[in-house]
Amino acid sequence: MSSRAAGGAKHRLMMEMKELEKEAWVNIDLPNGNILRWRLGLIVVNPDSAFNGGYFKAEMTFTEEYPYQPPTFRFMIPIYHPNVYPDGKLCISILHNPGEDITSGEQASERWSPLQGVESVLRSVLLLLDDPEINSPANVDASVMYRDDRTSYNKKAKEIVEKSKKDVPKGFVMPTNLEPPPPPKSADDDAAFWAESDEELDFGGSDTGEDDDDMAEFDEDGEEGSDDDDS
């Protein structure tokens, strides 16, 4: 990987982070200042959502091949949802590698492309929380409950929401009256980001490396899990 490509990935991520910091429904932290690893608080502000009011800790990781390759995303607390695996990872098309997949039937337009971005991913995740895809579930039990016993499903969701509020950082003001985030932006909306990422940039210093700490095993107490790539 050339230094130009690596610089382009980091520059684009810095631009995207600055834009997202203007939004009230997401809280961003960079462990050790590493732009390739984001710790997030993803906030559900849709009043009609079963998960409304939740502050869901999550992590996104990027490679220096971004945006040619998609990031990874996982929740860092257990979420009972048809499309969330036990380790917190998601079954969601936008995080799958570019191109069509004959086996799954996914079209290229549904999967990752270099014109997508972090905001597109996060908005897709929020929409998935509200509107699960139960025909290809990651959690079969949650899918059956969502389909057959919505009352019990909503009750579980509210319990998760209440538990998640313990993770709200001290001094952080939770939004309470925002409109639900709109659908994911089209690829064309991110064209400006993509165009600027082609520039060769001088960051004026050394790159920040990955954390040395290994991720702890994910367990029912909401501890961190594996960094393995999505399936």
* Active site (catalytic) residues: 91
DSSP string, 42-91: EE---TTSTTTT-EEEEEEE--TTTTTS--EEEESS----TTB-TTSBB-
Which of 118, 94, 99 is closest to 26 using CA atoms?
Answer: 118
| Encoded amino acid at 13, one letter | L
ω into 67 cis (within 30 of 0): yes
From residue 2, how far is each of 7, 9, 62, 149 by CA, in Å?
Answer: 9, 11, 16, 53
Strands 72-75 and 37-43: unpaired
